Chain A
Amino acid sequence: MYKYKTNDLILRTTTSLIAFILLGFAVYLLLAGHNSPGGGFVGGLMTSGAILLMNMAYGFETVKKVLPINFVKLIPIGLAVAAATGAGSFLFKQPFLSHTFGYFHIPIFGEVELATAMLFDIGVYLTVVGVMMTIILTIANDKD
């Protein structure tokens, strides 16, 4: 261990910038999954990569203050979203996991195709972020 306090000025400054870009890219990957490479899994991994980078540069306590999220709880939330998307087709008398889509007019973006597969992808995304962060933080915070 270092006896003196290190000054990670360069690391921290670049992290602020890079983590922001990484998070943006993660959201892009999540949304792009339908028509180009990407999707919930890789988006989730990218997000956890960004959070991990912040964790390395600023330490666990700071990140916890910035992102007050219980990552363990993200796993069941993600699973619930995915399961609910699948079971939602019951309401419309369709077979399990049937997906549908529609065109909606959203301000700024204009005509947008929205699919229920997106909701499933968000479930995957949340689960992946939850699992990755739980694994990393459990190992990283092992005091013994």
Chain B
Amino acid sequence: MSNLAVLPIIIPLISAIILIFFHRKVKLSRVLTKLFSLISLGTAGYITWYVLENGTIILNTGDWIAPYGIILVMDGLAAILVLTTNVIATACAFYAPYAGLEKREIYYFYPFFFFLITGVSGAFITGDLFNLFVFFEVLLMASYGLIVLGGGKVQLRESLKYLLINLFSSMLFVTAVAFLYAVVGTVNMAQIAERVQEVEQQGIITTIGILLFFVFATKAALFPLYYWLPKSYIVPNPVISALFGALLTKVGIYSILRTFSLIFIHKTDLTHDMFIWIAGLSMIFGVIGALSTSNIKLIIAYNIIPAIGFIILGIGVLNPDGISGSIYYLIHDMIIKTALFLLVGVIASVAGTSDLRKMGGLIHYYPSLGWLLFLSGAVLAGLPPFSGFIGKLLLLKGAFEEGEIAIVIIGLLTSLLILYSIVKIFINGFWGDKEAMTHIEKKPINGLLTPIVSLLALSVLLGVGAELFYPHIESIATYLLDPEIYIDSVLKE
């Protein structure tokens, strides 16, 4: 039944509504959160299976056929991203009770959490540009609530910056949609694509495309527009940082992937070549940021930027290898960033500081924590058996096919430096004398480690079992490279 496509939006929405009623009953909220996130995960899993078996699900909401109504398009890409979102949400739901949120949980933490998932899922599924804007606002509103939750002084300062930059880019989004509507006369993405194709993307449409790119680049933290991200992502609780780091920037990059593989594809020498340069600069500046600091949370936050650079590289080269590399890397990065944010949250909590210079010898107290960090560093940098490797390999292969040698070299060097930035945490934080951290008292961390271990296991599986996943991702990439399939499935079913 076509209503399957709306379930990833409606289940978290209803969960959030129910949890508002029980916001004072923390224990009940925790149980319900775990339950609802598992239900949502199960549904997303079933939908993904259904989409991969039977093809795209198109839902005309309110029974108004496209392009007149709002349509939800659950294609392969949307389905696997919704599934990944739900995996991350479940991990965070199981981490949250131990994350040291005690006094904040009653102030609607769990409802905000589910509203965030609603917004993210909605943004992945929608087939309408203005609806995409609305879901962006849903997830941003929830993130405003989450980033300021607790009301510390630093949080207040950083949330103000975060709010202002996002408000500005949202206004730019509305303006860009208004321009596009004035030119093509529709906001349905399939119909926009069809009409842009008819006029062969004249000058004004390319301008609007670049305007939209700037909007999404601000949300996704690409090279010149990433300055707001690192500091504002480290101020909230680790579980909130993990949600932000895994989901918010990825919605921006997904929007770029969608619009620039569907709508603005006729002037690639201008737009997509720009992406390749921006990709290179994002990698360089992001990794410089990660190396410049000794705050472990900031190191992970800066590592988001080169990852976004890698993904946009694949969109820039726009060939089957590049796009499938982008998708593979996107999924890999969502999972591993969650694991890393949660992991540094645990490290900062047991060490009592997030400054590397004040740490040392943690491996004597928490061996499992140390090896988990080492493993996730290897996964992040893309060492061969793990998932980062396959994504990067495909991306670099795609760039090589297009003759972009410079970017391949930058990509390889960046990977090395990313590995160095994580190993730096491992060497300075975990190696060393047992006496360096005598003041710490051993805390039970098993509850915190379970979600992290599950995420890492999934990440390793994604790398080792690449033969299982790669055919699906390859077929999604070929589907994305032929916008006719999308347009036909939406408009002429």
Contact = CB atoms under 8 A, between A and B. Distances in A.
Interface of A: 73, 75-76, 79-80, 83, 86-87, 89-90, 93-99
Interface in B338-377: none
Interface in B50-73: 59-63, 72
B62 A76 contact: no
A76 B63 CA distance: 27
A95 B3 CA distance: 6
Contacts of A90: 3
B14 A83 contact: yes
Given A83-B13, A83-B14, A96-B10, A76 B20 contact: yes
Contacts of B1: 93
Given A76-B18, A96-B6, 7 more contacts: A83-B13, A89-B3, A93-B1, A94-B63, A95-B59, A97-B61, A98-B63
A89 B10 CA distance: 13
Contacts of B17: 76, 79-80, 83
B21 interface: yes
B202 interface: no
A73 B2 contact: no
Contacts of A86: 10
A95 B20 contact: no
Interface of B is mostly: helix
Contacts of A98: 61-63
A111 B62 CA distance: 26
Interface of B: 1-3, 6, 10, 13-14, 17-18, 20-21, 59-63, 72
Residue among B59, B60, B63, B72 with max Cβ neighbours from chain A (10 Å): B63
Contacts of A93: 1
Contacts of A95: 2-3, 59-63
Contact of A75 (B2, B18, B20, B63): B20
A89 B13 CA distance: 16
Nearest to A99: B62
Contacts of B14: 80, 83, 87
B13 A96 contact: no
Contacts of A99: 62
A36 B3 CA distance: 32
